[in-house]
């Protein structure tokens, strides 16, 4: 019964959506560590992980690992042509109704609520129209 009740239902949906994205985008499933780059600031409590694959798809995971909302910096060109694919603060994942949605494309920084994460993806093999 628990998977159908809050907060378990929202967590299950998040995991299912993450697994679906992993199946759909090679940059999330190729296990090629040479195409993975992590940046973090332990004092401020943020982490970014960029991944790519030989076909040109790229992903950027931006995480706020602190109890306060903050802007997580993105390196110049790191977020170029990426689009928001998943955000943990969305209502369907149990986020509050008044949560501030991060930008659809990362620029110099991504604003995230406390303990939030946003996944940005660019997959040139997909039809974006």
Position 47 confidence tier, pLDDT thresholds 50, 70, 90: very high
CB 101 within 8 A of CB 87: yes
Tens of pLDDT, residue by residue over 102-118, are 999 998 999 999 999 99
- Over the stretch 68-96, which tens digit does the pLDDT of each residue have? 999 999 988 777 789 999 999 999 999 98
Pairing of strands 58-64, 46-52: antiparallel
pTM: 0.90
Q: For 114-127, how does the pLDDT look when each residue is reduced to its tens digit (9 = 90+)?
A: 999 999 999 776 65
């Amino acid at each position: 019964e628990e998977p159908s009740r809050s907060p378990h239902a929202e967590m299950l949906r998040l995991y299912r959506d993450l697994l679906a994205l992993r199946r759909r985008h090679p940059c999330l499933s190729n296990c090629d560590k040479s195409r993975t780059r992590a940046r973090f600031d332990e004092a401020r409590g943020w982490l970014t992980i960029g991944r790519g694959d030989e076909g040109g798809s790229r992903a950027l995971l931006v995480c706020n690992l602190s109890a306060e909302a903050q802007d997580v910096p993105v390196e110049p060109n790191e977020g170029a042509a990426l689009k928001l694919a998943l955000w943990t603060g969305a209502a369907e994942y149990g986020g509050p109704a008044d949560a501030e949605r991060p930008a659809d494309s990362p620029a110099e920084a991504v604003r995230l609520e406390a303990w939030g994460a946003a996944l940005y993806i660019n997959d040139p093999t997909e039809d974006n129209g």
